[in-house]
Chain A
Amino acid sequence: MELNWTTFILEILNFLVLVWLLKRLFYRPVQEMIEKRRKGIEQQFENSRKIQERAENLQNQYEYRLEEWESERQAARSNLENELAKESRRLFDKLQDELEAERKKQEVLTERQVKEQLEKAEIRALELGARFAASVLKELRAEQLEARIIDLLLRQLGEISGEKLNGLATVSEQGRQQEVYIVSAYPLNRIQQQKLEECLQKLLSAPLALSFSEDDELIAGLRMTIGPWVIRANLKDELKTFADMARISGKHFV
């Protein structure tokens, strides 16, 4: 239990040397390494913080752009809907106009068809009327009517104008015998035949060869054919002429 001064002093030196050695060899390098790693971690943390800030900024920008795009999309959609509505209205109006034009056209066509039908009906009525008149007149056995028609024909031939007379003369200029075909509804008696022959002789101034025949379709009166000239003095031709005139006048009317 005694104190050894040599041990005491050398132990103090030994311990101080150990403190110096450990400080230089152990504590300081390890502390520097820890500090270095701590700074590295702080640097990484700082970098991470910057990256996070940048990411947050990008996210904010992205959200802002997204909102802008949304508003632009809404505006574009609104414009498109307006344009579609305008175009739809324009097409609808155009279709309405076309339908109106078609309707008017159809009305005109219908009106024309109605008029044509009406006209056909009128013509048909005229024809039926003529046919009815013919059948009625045929039933009447109007021999006296025929005699009156012949008398009227003879009187008119006697009163024929110079121009027509020249036309008849032209037919018989060749001086040869002119054939005259006379078709009557009833057989002509001798007196009537002579009157006709005398009248024609007077008009044509040429030898005549008259031939008589009957056709009860004429109803009453006669039809004379002198070369190209045909004189229609009978009820059938008159009624037919009336019907044709009515048809022609109806077409012109339409």
Chain B
Amino acid sequence: MGDVTIGVDTLFFVGPFAISTSLGTSLLLTAVVSLAAWLMVRRMGGKPTRRQAVTEAIVSGLEDAVRQVAGVHAERIMPFISTLWVFLICGNLLGLVPGMDSPTRDLSVTAALAVTVFLSVHWFGITTQGWGNYFRHYLSPNPIMLPFHIISEITRTVALAVRLFGNMMSLELAAFLVLMVAGFLVPIPILMLHIVEALVQAYIFGMLALIYVVGGIQSHEERSNSSR
């Protein structure tokens, strides 16, 4: 962790587009996670091996966590939320790997994830109830509330992005500062703090995203039910 730097470096340029280290790490993370998933799913059979049992336990755990909140919509939402958890856990913990930085310490990455969540809320809402029915809830209880609904959507998305970025950035900065001051006396507690913080932040981000998505679907359903 001695190589920790505060800024985000640029790996290379593709024309006018700068490819940052956090994007490279994210792409690498996507490749590794996909490969690992393919390896875990390979040669599954009716009689489960230990690897298959672990794989099924992970998927079942993720599905149960989503189902407890989303209910009947869990099947549609589960891949998105579960991928968000997997990506954030792995991304947050990447900071522990020597020579690598967490991609979530980059505001561009967290903002991208927050915008993805923002878009997914509308995507699942629209695909569930249709355009008209979904956007009508922005006018309830009366059209005057529309600006407040829009501000609420924007602020919670920004908060989502900034919360993760701020926590991960501050975590790594704090760890850097502690290591600078205390030397090598406290690396293990700092590592433990990093792991716990990474898991907690991933859980919070994913759970908030789940609540937003489910809230968008269920608020509309409640309104539909009350109008009947």
- Seen from chain A, the residues whose Cβ lies within 8 Å of a Cβ on chain B are 1-12, 14-19, 21-23, 25-27, 29-31, 33-34, 36-37, 40
Contacts and interface: CB of A to CB of B under 8 A. Distances in A.
Interface of B: 8, 17-20, 22-23, 26-27, 30, 33-34, 37-38, 40-41, 44, 46, 48, 52, 55-56, 59-60, 63, 78-80, 82-84, 86-87, 103, 106-109, 111-113, 115-116
Given A25-B38, A25-B41, A16 B111 contact: no
B113 A11 contact: yes
A44 to B, nearest CB: 12
B56 A34 contact: yes
A6 B30 contact: no
A7 B56 contact: no
A6 B60 contact: no
**Chain A contact surface mostly:** helix
Contacts of B52: 33
Contacts of B86: 22
A15 B109 CA distance: 10
A29 B109 contact: no
B41 A11 contact: no
B59 A30 contact: yes
B108 A22 contact: no
A11 B112 contact: yes
Given A1-B107, A26-B41, A29-B41, A36 B59 contact: no
Contacts of A2: 107
For the complex of A and B, the 7 pairs showing the least CB-CB separation, nearest first, are: A11-B112, A26-B37, A7-B108, A23-B79, A6-B17, A30-B59, A4-B108
Given A7-B22, A26-B40, A12 B112 contact: yes
